[in-house]
Amino acid sequence: MSDGSDADAIRQSAVPAPRGAELPLPPAAVPGGPHDGDIADGLEETYWSVYDGAASKATVGQILARLPRIVRQIGRLAWTADRTATLAVVVLQLASAAMTAFGLMASVAVLRELFAEGPTPDRVRAAVPQLLIVVGFLAARALLEAGVAVAQARVTPKIRTALETEFLTLTAHVRLEVVDDADWHDEAYRANDRGLFYARQIVGQVVSLAAALLGLLGTAGVLGVLHPALLPLLLLSVLPVGAAAVRTARARFHSFKRWNTLQRRVRVFSWLLLERDAAAELRSDTAQGALLEEHRRLTTRIAEEDTRLGVSSAGLTLAGRAVGGIGTGITYTALGAMLIAGWLPLAAGAGAVLAIQAAQASLTRLVDVSHLVYEHAMWVDDLLAFQERCRDLQPRRSGLPAAETVKTISLEDVSFTYPGKDTPALNGISMTLHAGQRVAFVGVNGSGKSTCARLLAGLYEPQDGGTVRWDGVNVLDMDAESLQARVGCVLQDPVRFPFSALANLTVSRGTLTEADPQRALDAARASGAEQVIAGLPGRWEALLSKRFRGGQELSAGQWAKVAVARGLYKNAPVLLLDEPTASMDPRAEHAVYEAVLRDNPRPDQITVLISHRLASVVACDRIFVFNGGRITESGTHQELMDLRGEYADMFTLQADGYSTEAGEVA
């Protein structure tokens, strides 16, 4: 018996650890818990807060410099989604701005008639035609703005659908090792949680930005027509208002960053209080009070932040209006001087007042929307950059299609290291598997068994010059997805699809709507899922999820049977069973192994079983023992027992355990 064997390791695990290796007492305050320092400081560097508050840190010049590029980018997305609707938005928005300017000019004409000499009734009657023109312009603007809303309603959902579809298509198909990368996960969740969310809003924000800018330019044009000297007065009147709007917007963004961090934490506690999977343990631990208290503490802080923001915004608005009032007073004084000096008719002066007020409103809206567009565009940029990265991480879609059957799979000096790891999960593995063989991979956790199986399935690609060949063809020369379609995988923790019982089987062949009834029944019988499905209301049509009305709940062992049936239904030339029966009762486990390994061995299929329960691998044609990413032993059960190595130690240890338990029961 070799030193360091599994049997020795297990026996030694009962020996107390040396004093220096004992775990010290934990601190009185829970590290990383909700009271561990300021929550806002503790969470602000997470994936979702990368760009939050960016507009509050950017200068006005930076925002203005970047806005044209943002508008072009959103314009390209809209143009790709719906050219007709995009063109309609642009044309109708320009026409609406023109109607606003013409309406102001028509208002000046009305005032000119009202301020003319003569009896009041005559002046009013003379102003009626011009007044009707003003009404016409306002009505036209209302119709044009409705047209903008309709065109925007057409293009925005198409942009959202296109981006979301592309995002999910790309992320669902990236190579499996990419999904193991924590950085990729951060980027994926950030793009989904923020990028897609703001992509749905930014088209409308860009339209609002254009409307505010065009409105500001239109009023400036009207003032220039009335008298060129009015343009400096416009700046004097609107700049203080704009400065106040900038300060208010930045205060709001700073507050948003603090508030949003707290709000995300509140959502975590709300989810734990509502989530079905946490309900039993929450009640058994009587933890509701602790979570509710923390929820109350956080919502109180949010309320305080809302109050602080409201008070701060009120002060900033007051200051802005005070400074703006001074500017407006100077403007109106200058207007009065121009009227007294005869530079400007009285009607034109009244029209200038209307134009300046409209310009102030447009500028305030422009500042607010500019901050939103600037910040949200960063998230959209992040989404587009992530999608571009995912395009480079897709599996091979060129090369030879995988054959319908395979006679031999060979691994030659195969190694593999997971992203972010220094130690290889596999190191120089070589083996040859033949059709009709039942093969077992055994070993301690982390020894490389599952990694090797995923290389066989084409889910990972060999590194450092190693090769995997199907009937002599290097898998790197084959279409990756066609290769994966030739492998049925049954995992220890299978996906619990919220589909019907039948769709939970057919999904293994890439469909939720088409089924081979006889194949489904045969797979259910072989896996033991037949009795599970027969006992469900609706049987094959039963929905397997309690999250939906009428859904059914399965135990872990029942789900395992459904997962095995799913793998068998795929009817692939390679079947990988990775601890598929870990949650089954002994009788169900025995039935599965009898059906898959003993009763119906397929001469055209390679079956690979990964198991820690060594009694289940006895019938396999060949057993590979993994340790530290290498194959340390291989052979039949009897050959390995005769070798008296690591496998024999593990098998004897398990057998002794059962014998001891049986003796105690007797």
For residue 406, pLDDT beyond 50 = yes
Among 168-177, 196-205, 224-233, the least confident range: 224-233
What's the CA dihedral at 471, 476, 482, 488 to 10 degrees? Answer: 70
Whole-number percent of the chain with pLDDT over 70: 77
660 — pLDDT class (breaks 50, 70, 90): low
Mean pLDDT of 118-128: 60
For residue 313, pLDDT beyond 80 = no
For residue 665, pLDDT beyond 60 = no
41-60 pLDDT tens trace = 433 445 545 555 555 555 66
Helix axes 346-391, 120-173, angle to 10 degrees: 10
Same domain for 443 and 365? no
In a domain? residue 412:
yes
What pLDDT, on a 0 to 100 scale, did the predictor assign at position 441?
92
Same domain for 615 and 561? yes
211-236 pLDDT tens trace = 888 877 877 777 777 777 777 777 77
Q: Can you list the positions of beta strands (E) in 95-221?
A: none
In a domain? residue 25:
no
* Angstrom distance (rounded) from CA 248 to CA 254: 10
Same domain for 133 and 179? yes
First to last CA, the chain: 31
Same domain for 376 and 435? no
CATH number at residue 521: 3.40.50.300
What pLDDT, on a 0 to 100 scale, did the predictor assign at position 39?
42
Same domain for 475 and 371? no
Same domain for 372 and 298? yes
412-426 pLDDT tens trace = 999 998 877 888 889
Bridge pairing between strands 438-443 and 622-627: parallel
For residue 624, pLDDT beyond 90 = yes
In a domain? residue 468:
yes
Positive or negative, the Cα torsion across 32, 34, 40, 41?
A: negative
230-243 pLDDT tens trace = 777 777 766 666 66
pTM metric for this prediction: 0.68
CATH number at residue 141: 1.20.1560.10
For residue 14, pLDDT beyond 50 = no
Range from 346-355, 437-446, 586-595, 597-606 that averages highest in pLDDT = 437-446
Bridge pairing between strands 408-416 and 467-470: antiparallel
Q: What are phi and psi of 607, to 5 degrees?
A: -110, 125
Q: 335 is in which domain, residue-wise?
A: 77-393
For residue 28, pLDDT beyond 60 = no
Q: Would you call 526 exposed, middle or buried from its count of C-beta atoms within 10 A (0-12, 13-18, 19+)?
A: buried
Residue with tokens 């298509």: 169
Bridge pairing between strands 426-434 and 408-416: antiparallel
In a domain? residue 362:
yes
What pLDDT, on a 0 to 100 scale, did the predictor assign at position 58?
59
Same domain for 248 and 315? yes
Which residues 6+ apart lie within 8 Å of 531 measured at CB?
none
Same domain for 299 and 379? yes
For residue 296, pLDDT beyond 80 = yes
Mean pLDDT, all residues of the chain: 76
For residue 253, pLDDT beyond 60 = no
Enclosing H/E stretch for 646: helix 646-665
Whole-number percent of the chain with pLDDT over 90: 6
Same domain for 441 and 381? no
In a domain? residue 19:
no
CA distances from 171 to 187, 265, 390 (A): 11, 27, 7
In a domain? residue 52:
no
**Residue ending a domain, choose from 362, 393, 424:** 393
Give residue 504's identity as a one-letter amino acid code.
N
Please count the structural domains in the chain: 2
Find out whether 482 and 402 touch, Cβ atoms under 8 Å: yes
Which residues 6+ apart lie within 8 Å of 296 measured at CB?
none
Higher pLDDT, 397 or 347: 397
Same domain for 412 and 374? no
Neighbours of 662 (CB within 10 A): 9
Find out whether 435 and 471 touch, Cβ atoms under 8 Å: no
**Residue ending a domain, choose from 393, 427, 445:** 393
522-564 pLDDT tens trace = 888 888 888 888 888 888 888 888 878 888 888 888 888 888 8
In a domain? residue 403:
no
Same domain for 308 and 227? yes
Same domain for 448 and 365? no
**Residue ending a domain, choose from 393, 426, 452:** 393
In a domain? residue 529:
yes
What pLDDT, on a 0 to 100 scale, did the predictor assign at position 125?
66
What pLDDT, on a 0 to 100 scale, did the predictor assign at position 320?
66
145-156 pLDDT tens trace = 888 888 888 888
441-495 pLDDT tens trace = 998 888 888 899 989 888 888 888 889 999 888 988 888 888 888 888 888 788 8
